[in-house]
């Protein structure tokens, strides 16, 4: 994969935001009980929210690569959906890290799909608490979040 020598500050910040999304999502889903994806005591089931996050990230990649268009996928089983979402995050980051042009602005990618995905990560964390399996506390300010370190390659919580 080609890397750009001098990435714009906006693109670098967007990549850091995507890495932050991956880190926070990893924290929201790690060690979730087997039946958590089907928890429906507070609205939409977590597996549907996770699938929506994946769709948002897929949409961000399509926007960035000039394909556009929203596609809604049906949710997979929890662990498969988790893998799909982290693969989508990695694909988006790879595009942002490449020399390929963006067919939209960094601001639009952030304000639309990326910010929406961050909101839904918060929903998953809240649903974990409601389901009786709260997410471990962490100070995200001191967390080691590294651009390009996505999914299973994450540092220990602080």
Domains of the chain: which residue ranges? Answer: 9-130
Alpha helices in 30-139 (DSSP H): 46-64, 78-97, 106-109, 115-130
- pLDDT attached to residue 154: 53
For residues 48 and 130, what is the distance between their CA atoms, to the nearest angstrom? 16
Cβ contact 58:88 at 8 Å? yes
pLDDT in tens, 21-48: 999 999 999 999 989 999 988 789 999 9
pLDDT at 3: 46
The pTM of this model reads 0.89
Looking at CATH, the fold of the domain delimited by 9-130 is given as: 1.20.120
Q: In terms of C-beta distances under 8 Å and separation of at least 24 residues, what long-range contacts does 40-46 make, across chains too?
A: 41/130, 41/131, 42/126, 42/127, 42/130, 45/75, 46/78, 46/124, 46/127, 46/131
Angstrom distance (rounded) from CA 28 to CA 126:
9
| Cβ neighbours of 126 (radius 10 Å) | 14
Residue 1's pLDDT band (cuts 50, 70, 90): very low
Interval 46-87: pLDDT, tens: 999 999 999 999 999 999 999 988 999 999 999 999 999 999
Residue 102: its pLDDT value, please?
A: 94
């Amino acid at each position: 994969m080609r890397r750009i020598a001098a990435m714009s500050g906006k693109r670098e910040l967007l990549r850091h935001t995507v890495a932050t999304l991956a880190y926070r999502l990893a924290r929201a889903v790690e060690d979730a009980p087997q039946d958590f994806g089907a928890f429906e005591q507070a609205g939409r089931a977590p597996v549907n929210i996770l699938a929506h996050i994946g769709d948002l990230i897929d949409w961000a990649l399509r926007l960035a690569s000039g394909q556009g268009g929203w596609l809604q996928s049906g949710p997979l089983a929890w662990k498969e959906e988790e893998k799909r979402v982290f693969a989508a995050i990695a694909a988006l980051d790879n595009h942002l890290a490449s020399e390929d042009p963006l067919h939209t602005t960094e601001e639009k990618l952030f304000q639309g799909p990326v910010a929406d995905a961050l909101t839904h990560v918060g929903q998953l964390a809240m649903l974990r608490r409601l389901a009786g399996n709260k997410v471990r506390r962490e100070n995200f300010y001191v967390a080691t979040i590294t651009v390009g370190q996505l999914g299973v390659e994450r540092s220990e919580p602080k």
